[in-house]
Amino acid sequence: MAVNLGRVGTWLGGLSWQPASSTREVAAEVEELGYGALWIGETPIAKEAFTHSAILLAATSRIPIATGIVNVWLHTPVSAAHAGTTLAEAYPGRFVLGIGISHHMVVEGLGQTYDRPVTRMREYLDAMDEAQWQAPEPAEPVTLVLAALRPRMLALSAERTHGAHPYFVPVEHTRRARELLGKDSLLLPEQAVLLETDPERAREVAREHTSFYLSAPNYRENLRWLGFEDEDFEGGGSDRLVDAVVAWGDEDAVVARVRDHLEAGADHVCIQPLAPRGQVDVEPLRRLAPALLEL
């Protein structure tokens, strides 16, 4: 694995809704602040992940760009394999291809049937491996990771890729995932963060985030696996759930949560400063950078 992600990066899904001029500026600042990687998302209603990655790679000179995640329902296996290899060849050591099976409501909205997600992902990886490629090879094969939450998908990520990129998870998930992945696979969790010290206000803002993801069955099932119950999913999430998934408080509180993930087995943690959907807030990254990068 030739990509050096460092210990802490940032996940800025809102970049997918911003004009290219703004995304270039944000990427350049994230690089200047010293974060180890910039993660972006993909949605059927905003920027396509590979083109977006190319824009961000061209706007920066050192920082790796990682997809969290490329939606396998939006790309054929051959196009994903070729696009990933193209970026890996053009930007050596600077692209991570994270792919994922997405969510039931997204997939059905595309007119597809969401079933057998692990089997579907295994077949997708098989087809990627079989894709013919006769153009220049990258110095190193593209770094590939899976969006993985539960044991079977985590096992597949360890078996077939460089590792796992879990999203919307507490520290306990990182601990369990490391045990399941073994020591040789990358573990790259996302962590939502909010610099707000008032508990009532912090949880109010955090629930705008958690309520959206709690509508997805795969996230709820993962949280059940970790010991949460149906009552924890009501009203945007119980205090216990919100506090476990969103690191809120002052800078020290956020740094402590990131450290907990690292001590639980994460190789790299990508923090997501919460912002209204489709927007990006860089100010928390500025405030957190000095302490986080000491990790």
Q: Are 97 and 144 in contact (CB under 8 A)?
A: yes
User: What is the pTM (predicted TM-score) of this model?
Assistant: 0.97
Is a pLDDT exceeding 90 seen at residue 107?
A: no
pLDDT of the residue at 110: 66
What does the pLDDT look like over 4-53, one tens digit per residue? 999 999 999 999 999 999 999 999 999 999 999 999 999 999 999 999 99
Please state the rounded mean pLDDT for residues 120-144.
Answer: 97
Please state the rounded mean pLDDT for residues 217-228.
Answer: 97
Query: Per the structure, how many domains does the chain have?
Result: 1
Average pLDDT of the residues of the chain: 96
Is a pLDDT exceeding 90 seen at residue 106?
A: no
Q: Are 2 and 138 in contact (CB under 8 A)?
A: no
Within a domain: residue 120? yes
For residue 114, name the pLDDT band (cuts at 50, 70, 90): confident
Is a pLDDT exceeding 90 seen at residue 111?
A: no
Q: Are 281 and 273 in contact (CB under 8 A)?
A: yes
Please state the rounded mean pLDDT for residues 247-275.
Answer: 98
Q: At a CB cut-off of 8 Å and minimum separation 6, what does 66 contact?
A: 5, 9, 37, 38, 39, 40, 95, 96, 97, 98, 165, 188, 270
Is a pLDDT exceeding 90 seen at residue 176?
A: yes
Within a domain: residue 235? no
pLDDT of the residue at 201: 98
Structural domain span for residue 177: 8-191+248-292
Distance between CA atoms of 206 and 153, rounded to whole angstroms? 27
Distance between CA atoms of 18 and 128, rounded to whole angstroms? 30
CATH number of 185's domain: 3.20.20.30
pLDDT of the residue at 109: 65
Within a domain: residue 75? yes
Distance between CA atoms of 163 and 268, rounded to whole angstroms? 11
- Residue 116: C-alpha distances to residues 122, 130, 180, 271 (Å): 10, 21, 20, 30
Within a domain: residue 131? yes
From the number of C-beta atoms within 10 Å of its C-beta (0-12, 13-18, 19+), residue 54 rates as middle
Within a domain: residue 218? no
Within a domain: residue 1? no
Pairing outcome for strands 186-187 and 143-146: unpaired
Tokens read off for 143: 């770094």
Within a domain: residue 230? no
Within a domain: residue 200? no
Q: Is the dihedral of CA 155, 211, 48, 12 positive or negative?
A: negative
Is a pLDDT exceeding 90 seen at residue 60?
A: yes
Question: Which helix H or strand E contains 145, and what residues bound it?
Answer: strand 143-146
Distance between CA atoms of 146 and 178, rounded to whole angstroms? 14
Instruction: Report which residue type is found at 190.
Output: E
